[in-house]
């Protein structure tokens, strides 16, 4: 391949990317049109993935889960109004460097060894985008001395494709944390921007993980009375109980935290929350 051919390809890629990004869904604003999250996942993958490579902005160690090496990726298929991750979620074309599974694993290993921790994760985005990247990375973790990989997901793609859940369940070192955003279809659209019918997908993701025999637990944004009513919370609990009552006893309930990006996204969406002293 000649240099001029390489340059032409880069220009072509840039032109395609400009087209993709012009109509790309950013943060929610009042009057937004609900989107199909599976379609948005595909559009996001066009921006943040190339073959097995996926964009990351940094690798670091954090104190959550008792200390965990973290790869911060770009791109999600929901637009939660309370999302804390940085602007790479909304403008993924502007952030990150493409890394192969081997490169991502090597960088994760380096920060884990430096901090003396034995567990790894991907954060800052939806890790199930870029399936070949994720599965390639999990292969590396499985045959490594590391103890655990925590897969934090919104469950959309695992719900849309049962085989994805089966492929994840093959890895014995992977524990999935599937996070529910709302208890009704209407609230799901208001909080995530996704079409009401896609409310079912994360619940289907839970069913798929259960049937695949995967190690997982469920988290939900249900401990915050400012964004969830008692009735909506109860509907979510009932729905989980109809799948398996153990999901309710092991449920991890979350509140909205006032990160700068969260406050800005709430403001753009026109949603006002009151914060206590010190927040
Ligand atoms: S909270 Fe999670 S699922 Fe929702 S937009 Fe942010 S990264 Fe995506």
Query: Which residue, by CA, sits nearest to atom 1 of ligand 1?
Result: 83
The answer to whether position 236 is within a domain reads yes
CATH number, domain with residue 155:
3.20.20.70
Tens place of pLDDT per residue across the chain (279 aa): 434 444 454 676 666 677 778 899 999 999 999 999 999 999 999 999 999 999 999 999 999 999 999 999 999 999 999 999 999 999 999 999 999 999 999 999 999 999 999 999 999 999 999 999 999 999 999 999 999 999 999 999 999 999 999 999 999 999 999 999 999 999 999 999 999 999 999 999 999 999 999 999 999 999 999 999 999 999 999 999 999 999 999 999 999 999 999 999 999 999 999 997 655
Does residue 80 form part of some domain? yes
Q: Which uninterrupted H or E stretch holds 218?
A: strand 216-220
Ligand 1 site-directed mutation target among 38, 76, 227, most atoms within 8 Å of CB = 76
The answer to whether position 30 is within a domain reads: no
Closest residue by Cα to residue 121 from 98, 138, 133: 138
Other CB atoms within 10 Å distance of the CB of residue 226:
12
Read off the pTM: 0.93
Note whether residue 117 is domain-resident. yes
The reply to whether ligand 1 has any atom less than 6 angstroms from the CB of 76 is: yes
Q: Look at residue 79 and tell me if it is in a domain.
A: yes
Of 202, 35, 28, the C-alpha closest to 128 is 202
- What pLDDT does residue 74 have? 96
Residue 8 lies in a domain: no
With respect to residue 247, please indicate whether it lies within any of the assigned structural domains. yes
Question: In Å, how far from its chain's centre is CA 185?
Answer: 19
Q: Is the beta carbon of 175 within 6 A of some atom in ligand 1?
A: no
Direct distance between the N- and C-terminal alpha carbons of the chain, in angstroms, rounded to an integer: 56
- Tell whether ligand 1 has an atom less than 6 A from the beta carbon of residue 126: yes
What pLDDT sits at residue 12? 65
Q: How far apart are CA 44 and CA 30, in angstroms?
A: 22
Separation CA 33–CA 131 (nearest Å): 27
CA–centroid distance, residue 4 to ligand 1 (Å)? 40
Condensed to tens digits (0 to 9), the pLDDT of residues 149-187 reads 999 999 999 999 999 999 999 999 999 999 999 999 999
Report the pLDDT value the prediction gives residue 20, as an integer from 0 to 100.
Answer: 74
For 126-145, the DSSP string reads -TTSSHHHHHHHHHHHHTSS
Q: Which two tokens stand for residue 260?
A: 């700068």
* Per-residue model confidence (pLDDT) at position 18: 72
Q: Tell me whether strands 49-50 and 148-153 are parallel, antiparallel or unpaired.
A: unpaired
For the chain, what is the domain count?
1
* Residue 165 belongs to domain spanning: 36-269
- CA–centroid distance, residue 275 to ligand 1 (Å): 21
Ligand 1 probe mutation, 154, 157, 259, most atoms within 8 A of CB: 154
What is the reported pLDDT for 228?
Answer: 97
pLDDT of residue 6: 40
| CA neighbor of 128 nearest in space, from 109, 155, 101 | 155
Residue 239 within a domain? yes
> pLDDT of 12-51, one tens digit each?
666 667 777 889 999 999 999 999 999 999 999 999 999 9
Check pocket membership of 83 for ligand 1, CB cut-off 6 A: yes
What's residue 1's pLDDT? Answer: 40
Q: How many whole angstroms from 85 Cα to the centroid of ligand 1?
A: 7
- Best CA proximity match to 74, nearest among 107, 44, 51: 44
């Amino acid at each position: 391949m000649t240099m001029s051919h390489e340059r032409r390809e880069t220009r072509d890629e840039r032109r395609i990317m400009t087209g993709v990004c012009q109509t790309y869904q950013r943060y929610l604003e009042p009057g937004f049109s609900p989107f199909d999250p599976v379609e948005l996942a595909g559009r996001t993958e066009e921006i943040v993935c190339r073959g097995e490579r996926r964009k990351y902005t940094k690798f670091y160690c954090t104190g959550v889960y008792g200390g965990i090496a973290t790869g911060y990726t770009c791109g999600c298929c929901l637009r939660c109004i309370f999302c804390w991750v940085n602007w790479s979620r909304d403008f993924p074309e502007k952030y990150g460097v493409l890394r192969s599974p081997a490169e991502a694993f090597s960088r994760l290993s380096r920060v884990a060894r430096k901090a003396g921790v034995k567990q790894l994760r991907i954060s800052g985005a939806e890790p199930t985008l870029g399936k070949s990247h994720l599965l390639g990375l999990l292969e590396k973790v499985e045959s490594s001395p590391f103890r655990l990989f925590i897969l934090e997901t919104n469950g959309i793609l695992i719900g849309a494709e049962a085989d994805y859940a089966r492929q994840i369940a093959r890895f014995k070192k992977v524990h999935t944390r599937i996070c529910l955003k709302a208890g009704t279809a209407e609230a799901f659209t208001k909080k995530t921007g996704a079409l009401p019918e896609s409310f079912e997908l994360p619940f289907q993701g839970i069913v798929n993980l259960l049937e695949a025999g995967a190690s997982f637990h469920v988290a939900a944004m249900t401990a915050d009375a400012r964004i969830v009513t008692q009735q909506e919370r109860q509907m979510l609990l009932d729905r989980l109980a109809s799948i398996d009552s153990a999901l309710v006893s092991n449920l991890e309930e979350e509140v909205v935290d006032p990160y700068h990006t969260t406050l800005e996204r709430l403001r753009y969406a026109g949603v006002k929350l009151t914060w206590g002293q010190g927040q």
